[in-house]
């Protein structure tokens, strides 16, 4: 997070160059708030990068384990069992055609499943 102090320095410089007359306390308060927001945003970006690296890509519904299927949004234990019990699939949309999951549930996972 070495970028946060640099950001704070830039913010402080820009704040000091504004045409409004502000007290040093007001400038410190605004700088602290901006630095806090930048630190929070940097942490969220770092967490997003880690999550992105951990993701394995789309789940192959013809080969996925029950646990992998249950990790899909909206897929509970019963739905995962139905998916496994009705294999193989030619397309992921067969989950809807065979009434294994609803269209709404499918829409939540459509870009996360494949049938390779």
What CATH number does residue 63 fall under? 1.10.150.320
Range of the structural domain that residue 17 is part of: 3-54
Point out the least confidently predicted range of 15-19, 74-78, 89-93: 15-19
**Is pLDDT above 80 for 51?**
no
- 34 and 12 in a common domain: yes
- 109 and 64 in a common domain: yes
- 22 and 40 in a common domain: yes
- 83 and 39 in a common domain: no
Nearest to 109 by CA among 73, 65, 80: 73
- 83 and 46 in a common domain: no
d(CA 94, CA 114): 11
Structure confidence at residue 53 as a pLDDT band (50, 70, 90): low
**Is pLDDT above 80 for 107?**
yes
- 107 and 63 in a common domain: yes
- pLDDT average, residue stretch 64-85: 95
- pLDDT average, residue stretch 54-68: 88
d(CA 63, CA 11): 52
Q: How many CB atoms lie within 10 A of CB 51?
A: 9
- 100 and 74 in a common domain: yes
- 78 and 39 in a common domain: no
Residue with more model confidence, 56 or 38: 38
Question: What pLDDT score was predicted for residue 90?
Answer: 97
Q: Say how many domains are in the chain.
A: 2
- 43 and 78 in a common domain: no
- 49 and 79 in a common domain: no
State yes or no: cis peptide before 74, omega within 30 of 0.
Answer: no
Residue with more model confidence, 107 or 48: 107
Helix (H, G, I), strand (E, B) or coil at 88: coil
Token duo for residue 104: 């709404």
């Amino acid at each position: 997070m070495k970028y946060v102090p640099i950001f704070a320095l830039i913010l402080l410089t820009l704040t000091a160059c504004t045409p409004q007359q502000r007290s040093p306390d007001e400038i410190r308060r605004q700088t602290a708030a901006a630095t806090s927001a930048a630190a929070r945003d940097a942490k969220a970006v770092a967490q997003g990068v880690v999550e992105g690296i951990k993701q394995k890509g789309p789940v192959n519904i013809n080969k996925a384990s029950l646990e992998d299927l249950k990790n899909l949004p909206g897929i509970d234990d019963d739905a995962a069992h139905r998916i496994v019990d009705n294999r193989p699939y030619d397309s992921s949309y067969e989950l809807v055609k065979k009434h294994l999951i609803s269209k709404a549930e499918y829409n939540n996972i459509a870009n996360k499943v494949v049938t390779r």
